[in-house]
Structure 1
Amino acid sequence: MLAQPVAPDHDRLQAMAKDHWQHAVATYWSERTGLFYTRPPAELPPASVYISEAQYRRGEYRTTPYKKGDENSVGYNLHGGGTGTEDCSLFTGPLLAAMCDQYAVTSDRSVRAEALRAFQGLKSAATAHGCPGFIARGVCHEDGKSIFAGTSRDQYTNAIYGLWRFYRSGLAEESERQDIRDILCAVADKMTREVTPENNWSFDFAYGVKDDRGVGKMYEKDKLLTLRLAMFYAAAWDVSGKQDYHDRYRAALPDSLAGARAYAELPPDKIKWSSPPYTVLQTNAAFRLVYDVEKDPAQKAAILDAMALYSAYVAASPHFALAKYKSPRDHGEIIGGLLLCPSYAMPAETAAVLREDISKMWPKGWAGSIFTIIPAYWQARVRGYFATTATPPTDGGQQ
């Protein structure tokens, strides 16, 4: 455990983190869908400008971003870019995990009510559209069911991690755990059906729309992205106990671990465009899930070795240097991701960046930054940093 002396500002830091959450709920959360958006719900596109399932199936859409004030452009936007609904699952998943971390640190059962806000959102993203195994980027606030057909493995990764953490947190009741089993198993089944050589190893978007830019690709030999596929199967296996999911998880694991080793050998200029800061959080969320669910000691050690290798590479890489990035969102995703690695020790200068980001955004900040700084803060607390006078640090356990 990484214990620290109590500093005078740690109580205030926790209070600010909780205020960030309250601001996020009051400003960006939809009571109808349970999702967090990057715009206030009142400013989101209305249901009348979403196109129908039949139009998507006929290919009557474009991939150009939404232009504010031009409602006609929304219906032809495959991924919801520019609408405020394009990253709901990506942000809501880590926020749900953050509430699980807060409960792990404080043992305060009142956190369940806050976790339920995010859980209902992820359930909506996975079920409102009627496409089993599909996790939407977001759901229309006005009608609670319309979606943009496009999504990505990034949305899936963060959503699955948040759902799995809630399942294992001690906060979820059996009805919610059953919902999560249904969702995670449906995702695994979708991967089995669609992630094939004939489909370029990608899963389909909603309504059978094909992956238009490789954001649903789940397998590449000896590449790190294969870890996401291993994660999806491992999550389904862990909550269901089904042997088929275990076997598929184990089949994807060797390429995942080889991919981590290959990635750690890349020169910085080779990862400039392929690895934005958000990949750190997602990669280590995937690593952490498979590490936590793996039961074989040898395999568990191999996963931890690969995760530690990847994390050490990120921590030392000039590409991921915190000084390079100005947005607290980027800082939150890099720091929060690294903290998921059990062997990572956060340097004092990195802790200072996180503390400064929390402080300078208070009481308001851009939605995306709030949504990533909150999880980074509570993950730091789980690891024993920023201990307050009211709540002692824990041993770093995730479940």
Structure 2
Amino acid sequence: MRTDLHGKMEEAWSYLWNKLFYEETGLFYDYLTSREHEKRFSHLPQSDEIEKQFPNPCGWGTGMEDSMLNAGSVMEVLRLRKEMAADKESLSLAKKVLGGMLRCTYSHGVPGFVARSISPWDKRSCYANSSRDQFTLCVYGAWRFLRSFQDADEKDLKDARQLLVDIATYCELVVTPENADNLLRLDGKPGLVCHMLDVRVHEIMRLPMFYAAAWDASGDHHWFDLYRRYAIPGIEENLRLDPAWPWWDVEFSQMQLSLALLAEVESDDELRGKYLRAMFLTAELSNKYFEAEIRKGKTFSGDWSSLNHNWRQMPLALCGTTIQNPEQSSLYGGYAYVQPQFPSSYMDPYSILRALGNLMYTQMLCQDWTPKQEVLESFLSLAAKPDYKTHGSDGPINILHGYWIGRYRKVC
């Protein structure tokens, strides 16, 4: 273990809990806009803005976009800190993260629907359009809690089990041909980035993953049957990764998390072997993207800790996929999806950190794959670049996710 890097990673860990985390909701928000503690979240949407689904029903760009992505990754880090460093705080912190997941899944009155985030102002308002990705990390995090924190109170364990069952129940109810296999928004209309079947390769195993987690949590064979129904044909498609496709770090990492969960719960050697093969192919394919991000990080000359601006003062751009007929309407399900355009001073370093972390843990999750030593050394050097005491994005969550799995693999 590099002690100098470990110190920097502990700084990043302190930053998450002291600045990015909001105790009253149990959530990690996306970014800060002030280094004054009381003003750091002043940009987060007010309840009337959320009620009107402004600036878009996903909350894209507002700071309430990715709380569930953050929760799933932090839960992974907590279980690794518990297993490897005997961190005595891990259980109490994991309970807080679970509390945020529960709030996102129940406070809106539709059990099993995983909201992206919850308003810190009224502790209940949320945007109506979630995503496959938010569901994926919530499921993964709750499942990790059950697997790794068996010393938790029975109530917490019961809540985590019920959370996974309720998510699976919701999916079984709404992911139907009548709904175009869509997770739907809270208002019952189709959501963007919410289709679960007839999707791209990196999304194919999400639905079986949800059902597998519910089966593992409850022992109910109903969920096992649903899991296998979708997993057996799904993995055959998953094995046909297209190297020519312009992949994104988030696609790699979430596909790998889905496969990792399935490989851990599956007892059939042949099927598990296919999951592991898919994980190897994913790690192998992601490596060139990892090396590209490292080159980008090495040439970055800006401020790693530049703060984002208040989204209300940014230019807004219409999301192109919502334009059903440009001659008639740009609304989707009755709402405009306009996205704040982040300044490059914030977006560039954030994107590098997020991608480095995601691609690191994509590779580290595969036990049969290890990047070249010089690539790992470059990742570790770049992970130490930011001043985490003055940072302002959620990119360090991804860095920590990659770092701690790297420590588990004994490469950090």
Per the normalisation by structure 2, the TM-score is: 0.80
Do the aligned residues in 2 keep the contact of 1:222 with 1:258 (CA within 8 Å)?
no
**Residue 376 in structure 1 maps to residue 354 in structure 2:** no
**Counterpart position of 1:197:** 177
Q: For 2:20 and 2:381, how far apart are their aligned partners in 1?
A: 23
Alpha-carbon distance change, 154 to 242 in structure 1, aligned in 2, over 3 angstroms: same
Match of 1:291 among 248, 263, 285: 263
Match of 2:293 among 315, 322, 327: 322
**Counterpart position of 2:337:** none
**Counterpart position of 2:301:** none
Q: For 2:295 and 2:181, how far apart are their aligned partners in 1?
A: 34
**Residue 104 in structure 1 maps to residue 83 in structure 2:** yes
The number of residue pairs the alignment matches comes to 348
Question: Partner letter of residue 178 of structure 1?
Answer: K
**Counterpart position of 1:21:** 13
Q: For 1:319 and 1:24, how far apart are their aligned partners in 2?
A: 24
TM-aligned CA deviation for residue 339 of structure 1: 1.0
**Counterpart position of 2:363:** 338
**Residue 95 in structure 1 maps to residue 74 in structure 2:** yes
- Deviations 1:237-275, CA, capped at 9 Å, x for gaps: 000001011011111112321222221xx242xx22xx3
Higher mean displacement: 77-86 or 36-45: 36-45
Alpha-carbon distance change, 25 to 299 in structure 1, aligned in 2, over 3 angstroms: same
What secondary structure sits across from 1:208 in the alignment? coil
Q: For 1:367 and 1:188, how far apart are their aligned partners in 2?
A: 31
Question: Partner letter of residue 360 of structure 2?
Answer: I
Alpha-carbon distance change, 309 to 179 in structure 1, aligned in 2, over 3 angstroms: same
Do the aligned residues in 1 keep the contact of 2:204 with 2:238 (CA within 8 Å)?
no
**Counterpart position of 1:71:** none
Question: Partner letter of residue 368 of structure 1?
Answer: D
**Residue 242 in structure 1 maps to residue 189 in structure 2:** no
Do the aligned residues in 2 keep the contact of 1:185 with 1:236 (CA within 8 Å)?
yes
Q: For 1:207 and 1:297, how far apart are their aligned partners in 2?
A: 42
Question: Partner letter of residue 50 of structure 2?
Answer: Y
Do the aligned residues in 2 keep the contact of 1:102 with 1:111 (CA within 8 Å)?
yes
Q: For 1:267 and 1:297, how far apart are their aligned partners in 2?
A: 27
Question: Partner letter of residue 142 of structure 2?
Answer: L
**Residue 254 in structure 1 maps to residue 232 in structure 2:** yes
Match of 2:166 among 182, 186, 190: 186
Match of 1:165 among 128, 136, 144: 144
**Counterpart position of 1:206:** 186
Q: For 2:169 and 2:395, how far apart are their aligned partners in 1?
A: 33
**Counterpart position of 1:391:** none
Question: Partner letter of residue 294 of structure 1?
Answer: E
**Counterpart position of 2:311:** none
Q: For 1:172 and 1:344, how far apart are their aligned partners in 2?
A: 33
Match of 2:132 among 149, 153, 164: 153
Per the normalisation by structure 1, the TM-score is: 0.82
Moved over 6 A (4+): none
Q: For 1:198 and 1:246, how far apart are their aligned partners in 2?
A: 23
- Aligned-residue Cα RMSD (Å) equals 2.0
Query: What are the residue-to-residue correspondences of 1:31-50 with 2, within 5 Å?
Result: 31-38=23-30, 39=32, 40-50=40-50
Alpha-carbon distance change, 108 to 368 in structure 1, aligned in 2, over 3 angstroms: closer
Q: For 1:342 and 1:174, how far apart are their aligned partners in 2?
A: 32
What secondary structure sits across from 1:41 in the alignment? coil
Q: Give the share of equivalent positions with the same residue, in percent.
A: 27
- Deviations 1:54-89, CA, capped at 9 Å, x for gaps: xxxxxx75xxxxxxxxxxxx3x52111221001111
TM-aligned CA deviation for residue 350 of structure 1: 2.7
Question: Partner letter of residue 185 of structure 1?
Answer: V
Question: Partner letter of residue 119 of structure 2?
Answer: C
Q: For 1:312 and 1:240, how far apart are their aligned partners in 2?
A: 34
Do the aligned residues in 1 keep the contact of 2:98 with 2:160 (CA within 8 Å)?
no
Q: For 1:117 and 1:358, how far apart are their aligned partners in 2?
A: 26
Q: For 1:138 and 1:245, how far apart are their aligned partners in 2?
A: 27
What secondary structure sits across from 1:365 in the alignment? coil
Q: Which runs of 5+ in 1 are unaligned?
A: 1-5, 52-59, 62-73, 387-399
Q: For 1:81 and 1:254, how far apart are their aligned partners in 2?
A: 34
Do the aligned residues in 1 keep the contact of 2:84 with 2:408 (CA within 8 Å)?
yes
TM-aligned CA deviation for residue 95 of structure 1: 1.0
Alpha-carbon distance change, 357 to 302 in structure 1, aligned in 2, over 3 angstroms: same
Q: For 1:143 and 1:216, how far apart are their aligned partners in 2?
A: 26
